[in-house]
Amino acid sequence: MDRVFNTVCLILFVIVSCTQEVPPEDVFDNPLDEEEVTYETPALTFYPLDISIDLGSSQTVDVFVLGIDDLAGSYIKINYDKNKLTVISVAVGEFFTDSMHDPVFLVDDDTDNGFIEINTSFLGSDSVSVSGTGSLASIVFQSTADGESSLLFDSLCEFVDPDDNPIEIRGFGVGVVNAQ
């Protein structure tokens, strides 16, 4: 009797799971989808890439690292239009915090020149590192003027492994904030 019950349950499960609607194609339009990434990895990008917000509103933008192996530290410099955007806050992303060790996370927002510097690393002799894809930081921007503003990674950005050897960053995404 148990065998018949298990078989019926399995058949019902298959029927119910096969009747679920397939999501529309544009659901997968974030910069982390393989078909959307047009640069080599390891790379840095923003999510979302394109933002439309009302004047005076704020929006969170995540800084993502894509396809990295053995990352122990990073220096990220992001240029933004200081005449159109203000940085409200910067928080550590989940990529480094997913490990068993807390990272060092230092942020400097240079409002006079329009750039943010983010230093994230593990300290200690236990050679902690992370691999894969994930958010390094979450930045909340507020629009202060109408128009389009680009979020650009500076060429000084750097990744290092646990032995402090540089890891080449092979691609950079560009973010756009459009305030109306």
Domain boundaries, the chain: 2-179
* pLDDT above 70 (res 179): yes
Count CB atoms within 10 A of the CB of residue 31.
21
* Predicted TM-score of the model (pTM): 0.78
**Positive or negative torsion for Cα 49, 50, 56, 60:** negative
Calculate mean pLDDT across residues 120-133: 79
Say whether domain 2-179 belongs to CATH 2.60.40.680. yes
Report phi then psi at 2, rounded to 5: -60, -35
Q: What is the pLDDT of residues 46-63, one digit of tens each?
A: 999 999 999 999 999 999
What is the model's pLDDT at position 22?
45
Instruction: Work out the mean pLDDT of the chain and round it to a whole number.
Output: 83
What is the model's pLDDT at position 36?
57
Count CB atoms within 10 A of the CB of residue 40.
12
